[in-house]
């Protein structure tokens, strides 16, 4: 029996806090953000949210976590991600230094809930019981999901990366948690970075999304541009005509129904004008109400005939005949006349009967721009034109979906002329990815076709809309509908080329544009600007074109640096095996990684004891860590996570591929280590500092205090290096 007194539960670091205030999220006037203690956080009150973010992302229900003890842990973890500048978070050496967005934190919450509920399902009640086996089993389960047919499918690399990150971040933020935490010193997968565990290339590598084939893009752009340039304006004019011809206000109830229907039908016979065809949805409604599907009068628009004859219902609504309408003795006499009219003049949709001629898309003759069409058919055609606008802008500008839905009605900026036949067209929208809460306004230089597509989309916008396109674009569905229309009889009548069955997504269009831009002189930089990438490395992955004019020279330099880094990493590992440990804030992670490598070598010795081991096997295990090594002034920098690099945080650098050695503070950076080879540099700095201090006058108190602090820090680092080199306790060089 445990007779130790129960320890008092520590106060949560965010107790009583307003989450939006702590995270710096603006809230609409008169609204209050969620409180830390609530089990349901509602972020719908947050202002300046991207339009692409759905309501489900803004509601976090912690009751989804089955174990009530872990709900507090989840709240502390997510709040720390949102508020890295909080006084209790910023002192954590491995905490993120950049605030995570609401969308990112919601993704973390979902993965965290799955992880904790998975542990609950295995009978684990405390994180102290978690082992690497639990982590491996959970990752394997998440990577082998099941679809509706219960067929195993491989998980995407990015989703695996998030799973690993969540499991490892619980260790990084462990000191913050008040209810539970991992065992001391435990970090899932040891010191391996999350992208290594997930098998995701962090720097460079070709984008996995394949560009669209020319056999798809050529007919697609031909079809979309034909709809925009040729069909859009007459279709918009016809819509205006339809809207202006709304039914007249109902008059008094007419009793002579048969006579008035006969008058309307005979007027069609006299003019040789076909009867109006009913809408497809109205025909379906008639069948549901009992009409015989084989009835020749099923497709007649009786509401239009009633309006022409002045027949209204008692409620004043348009006339809608039921299945017994033609069996009524008062109206049965109309059937022979209607059948005669159908035989003589036929049934035809009302709109577009005298459509203007346009040149076919293939240049072979002219055809009416539309056959007679119903209101619903016109609405579907306008939907295809809108889809053409979306596809054209996406394909020719490279905008992400989140940027397409942010296009305002006035997105077209005034063209700028740079001489004869040199006009620059620009569109404005918001960039959401990588720009913090709410995104930021930016401009895209586009060709004239994309600029005109934005103009047509503005005319197609719904009444009262503030943006070109609705929030839920569903571009994949719109493309499938457009492809079906292009390949139908109507599309072929207009001379449009048939579209293959290949899938088209915003990612595919973006990748295709990147390839087209990058394989031109100076195109790699142009693609980076056009796609709004933070790093040219990302653009190289999109374009599958790493390097440039100096590629050979850079490859030689990179090869030498890689060899040097491998050698230094191997030397550090041999020192570890000899008991000479590193010191510094990053020593704990490095030692954990070395320990995992040593365990793997021991496993190899067990499985193949007669095989002689070589340095190459060790180098293979150290290769991933060696790629992250950068040489500091008097330290090693293991840049595994740029978000944790103190120099990049202080400089607010946009280039996060390399550390800033001139701003390195290795005594505080969580990814810096000190080794025996650095001792002389720190010892010399301490001795020189003492010599300067002895020569400073008594009046220079500020300068003396600064030098004393620097000397004491250098002496502390030297002492930590000496202690670690002799197998003493690992220093942290605070």
Structural domain boundaries of the chain? 19-198, 245-348, 508-545, 551-725
Q: For residues 623 and 562, what is the distance between their CA atoms, to the nearest angstrom? A: 9
User: What's the pLDDT score for residue 150?
Assistant: 37
pLDDT tens-digit series, residues 443-459: 888 889 999 999 999 99
* Owner of token pair 């933020």: 173
Task: Count each helix (H run) and each strand (E run) in the chain, helices first.
Answer: 26, 14
Q: Average pLDDT for residues 23-50, to the nearest whole number?
A: 92
Pairwise pLDDT comparison (81 vs 513), residue with the higher score: 81
User: Per mean pLDDT, which range of 29-43, 550-564, 720-734 is the poorest?
Assistant: 550-564
Report how far apart, in Å, the C-alpha atoms of 310 and of each of 271, 283, 339 are: 19, 22, 21
Closest CA to 226 of 409, 393, 369, 379: 369
User: What's the pLDDT score for residue 182?
Assistant: 93
Find the Cα–Cα–Cα–Cα dihedral 380, 382, 384, 388, rounded to 10°.
-170
Contact 473, 393 (CB under 8 A): no
Distant-in-sequence, close-in-space partners of 380: CB < 8 Å, separation ≥ 6 = 485
Q: For residues 429 and 407, what is the distance between their CA atoms, to the nearest angstrom? A: 5
* 250 pLDDT higher than 50: no
Q: Check residue 154 and report its DSSP letter.
A: E
Contact 508, 209 (CB under 8 A): yes
Contact 583, 720 (CB under 8 A): yes
User: What's the pLDDT score for residue 7?
Assistant: 46
Closest CA to 174 of 161, 163, 184: 184
Q: How many residues does the chain have?
A: 734
Q: For residues 296 and 338, what is the distance between their CA atoms, to the nearest angstrom? A: 9
Read off the pLDDT band of 1 (50, 70, 90). very low
User: What's the pLDDT score for residue 251?
Assistant: 44
Max mean pLDDT among 336-350, 510-524, 607-621, 693-707 falls in 336-350
Share of the chain above pLDDT 70, in %: 82
pLDDT tens-digit series, residues 75-121: 999 999 999 999 999 889 889 988 999 999 999 999 999 999 999 99
Closest CA to 539 of 554, 550, 551, 526: 526
Contact 179, 70 (CB under 8 A): yes
User: What's the pLDDT score for residue 108?
Assistant: 94
Q: Average pLDDT for residues 564-580, to the nearest whole number?
A: 84
Contact 674, 713 (CB under 8 A): no
* 323 pLDDT higher than 80: no
Distant-in-sequence, close-in-space partners of 29: CB < 8 Å, separation ≥ 6 = none
Q: Looking at 7-121, which runs of residues are DSSP E strands?
A: 40-42, 59-61
Q: Which two tokens stand for residue 511?
A: 């990748």
* 294 pLDDT higher than 90: no
Read off the pLDDT band of 147 (50, 70, 90). very low
pLDDT tens-digit series, residues 60-80: 999 999 999 999 999 999 999
**154 dihedral zone (left: phi>0; alpha: psi -120 to 50; beta):** beta
Q: What is the CA radius of gyration of the chain?
A: 35
Report how far apart, in Å, the C-alpha atoms of 416 and of each of 394, 419, 429 are: 22, 9, 18
Please report, in angstroms and rounded to a whole number, the separation of the first and last CA atoms in the chain.
Answer: 40
Q: Check residue 85 and report its DSSP letter.
A: T
User: What's the pLDDT score for residue 171?
Assistant: 92
Q: For residues 115 and 167, what is the distance between their CA atoms, to the nearest angstrom? A: 8
Q: Is the dihedral of CA 653, 635, 100, 143 positive or negative?
A: positive
Mean pLDDT estimate for the chain: 82
Q: For residues 600 and 618, what is the distance between their CA atoms, to the nearest angstrom? A: 10
* 521 pLDDT higher than 70: no
* 154 pLDDT higher than 70: no
Contact 40, 132 (CB under 8 A): no
User: Per mean pLDDT, which range of 44-53, 197-206, 471-480, 540-549 is the poorest?
Assistant: 540-549
User: Per mean pLDDT, which range of 44-53, 83-92, 250-259, 264-273 is the poorest?
Assistant: 250-259
Read off the pLDDT band of 545 (50, 70, 90). very low
Closest CA to 302 of 327, 322, 280, 332: 322
User: Per mean pLDDT, which range of 159-163, 270-274, 490-494, 546-550 is the poorest?
Assistant: 546-550
User: What's the pLDDT score for residue 38?
Assistant: 93
Contact 112, 77 (CB under 8 A): yes
The pairing of beta strand 347-348 with beta strand 412-417: unpaired
Read off the pLDDT band of 609 (50, 70, 90). low
The predicted model scores a pTM of 0.68
Report how far apart, in Å, the C-alpha atoms of 318 and of each of 247, 277, 299 are: 8, 16, 17
pLDDT tens-digit series, residues 641-667: 888 888 888 777 777 778 887 778 888
- Residue 46 DSSP SS3: strand
User: Per mean pLDDT, which range of 156-170, 346-360, 541-555, 672-686 is the poorest?
Assistant: 541-555
* 526 pLDDT higher than 80: no
Q: For residues 552 and 555, what is the distance between their CA atoms, to the nearest angstrom? A: 5
* 209 pLDDT higher than 60: yes
Q: Check residue 153 and report its DSSP letter.
A: E
Closest CA to 160 of 114, 126, 117: 114
Closest CA to 224 of 428, 512, 491: 491
């Amino acid at each position: 029996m445990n007779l130790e007194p129960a320890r008092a539960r520590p106060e949560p670091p965010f107790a009583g806090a307003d989450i939006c205030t702590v995270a710096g999220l603006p809230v609409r006037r008169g609204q209050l953000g969620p409180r830390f203690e609530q089990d349901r956080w509602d972020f719908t009150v947050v202002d300046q949210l991207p339009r692409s973010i759905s309501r489900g992302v803004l509601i976090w229900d912690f009751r989804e976590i089955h174990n009530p003890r872990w709900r507090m842990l989840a709240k502390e973890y997510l709040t720390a991600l949102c508020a890295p500048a909080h006084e209790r978070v910023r002192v954590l050496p491995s905490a993120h230094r950049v605030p995570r967005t609401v969308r990112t934190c919601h993704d973390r919450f979902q993965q965290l809930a799955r992880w904790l509920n998975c542990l609950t399902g295995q009978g684990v009640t405390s994180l102290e019981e978690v082992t690497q086996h639990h982590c491996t089993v959970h990752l394997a389960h998440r990577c082998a999901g099941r679809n509706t047919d219960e067929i195993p499918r491989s998980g995407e690399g990015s989703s695996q990366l998030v799973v690993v990150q969540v499991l490892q971040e619980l260790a990084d933020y462990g000191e913050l948690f008040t209810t539970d935490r991992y065992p001391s010193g435990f970090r899932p997968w040891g010191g391996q970075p999350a992208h290594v565990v997930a098998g995701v290339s962090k720097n460079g590598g070709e984008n996995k999304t394949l560009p669209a084939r020319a056999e798809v893009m050529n007919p697609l752009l031909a079809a979309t541009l034909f709809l925009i340039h040729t069909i859009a304006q007459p279709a918009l004019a016809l819509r205006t005509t339809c809207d202006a011809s709304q039914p007249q206000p109902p008059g008094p109830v007419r009793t002579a129904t048969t006579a008035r229907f006969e008058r309307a039908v005979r007027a069609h016979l006299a003019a040789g004008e076909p009867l109006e065809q009913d809408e497809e949805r109205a025909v379906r409604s008639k069948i549901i109400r009992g009409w015989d599907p084989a009835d020749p009068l099923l497709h007649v628009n009786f509401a239009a005939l009633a309006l022409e004859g002045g027949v209204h219902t008692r409620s004043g609504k348009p006339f809608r005949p039921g299945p017994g309408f033609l069996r009524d003795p008062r109206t049965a006499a109309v059937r022979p006349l209607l059948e005669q009219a159908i035989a003589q003049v036929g049934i035809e949709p009302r709109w577009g009967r005298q459509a203007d001629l346009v040149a076919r898309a293939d240049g072979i003759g002219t055809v009416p721009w539309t056959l007679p069409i119903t209101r619903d058919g016109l609405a579907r055609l306008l939907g295809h034109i809108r889809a053409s606008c979306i596809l054209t802008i996406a394909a020719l500008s490279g905008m992400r979906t989140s940027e397409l839905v942010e296009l305002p009605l006035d997105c077209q900026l005034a063209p700028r002329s740079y001489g004869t036949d040199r006009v620059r067209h620009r569109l404005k929208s918001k960039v959401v990815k990588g720009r913090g809460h709410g995104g930021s306004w930016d401009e895209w230089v586009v060709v004239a076709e994309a600029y005109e597509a934005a103009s047509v989309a503005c005319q197609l916008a719904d009444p009262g809309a503030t943006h070109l396109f609705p929030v839920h674009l569903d571009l994949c569905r719109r493309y499938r509908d457009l492809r079906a229309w292009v390949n139908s009889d109507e599309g072929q009548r207009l001379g449009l080329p048939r579209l293959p069955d290949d899938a088209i997504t915003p990612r595919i269009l973006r990748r295709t544009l990147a390839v087209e831009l990058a394989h031109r002189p100076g195109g790699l930089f142009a693609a980076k600007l056009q796609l709004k990438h933070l790093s040219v490395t990302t653009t190289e992955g999109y374009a599958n074109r790493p390097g440039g004019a100096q590629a050979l020279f850079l490859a030689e330099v990179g090869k030498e640096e890689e060899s040097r880094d491998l050698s230094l990493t191997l030397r550090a590992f041999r020192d570890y095996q000899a008991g000479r440990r590193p010191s510094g804030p990053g020593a704990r992670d490095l030692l954990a990684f070395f320990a995992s490598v040593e365990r793997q070598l021991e496993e190899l010795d067990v499985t193949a004891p007669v095989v002689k081991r070589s340095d190459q096997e060790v180098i293979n295990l150290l290769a991933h860590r060696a790629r992250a090594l950068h040489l500091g002034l008097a330290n090693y920098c293991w840049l595994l996570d740029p978000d944790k690099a103190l120099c990049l945080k202080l400089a607010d650098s946009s280039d996060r591929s390399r550390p800033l050695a001139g701003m390195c503070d290795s005594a505080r950076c969580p990814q810096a280590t000190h080794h025996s080879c650095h001792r002389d540099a720190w010892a010399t700095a301490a001795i020189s500092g003492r010599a300067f201090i002895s020569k400073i006058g008594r009046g220079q108190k500020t300068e003396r205090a600064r030098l004393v602090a620097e000397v004491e820090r250098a002496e502390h680092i030297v002492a930590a290096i000496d202690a670690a080199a002799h197998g003493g306790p690992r220093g942290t060089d605070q």
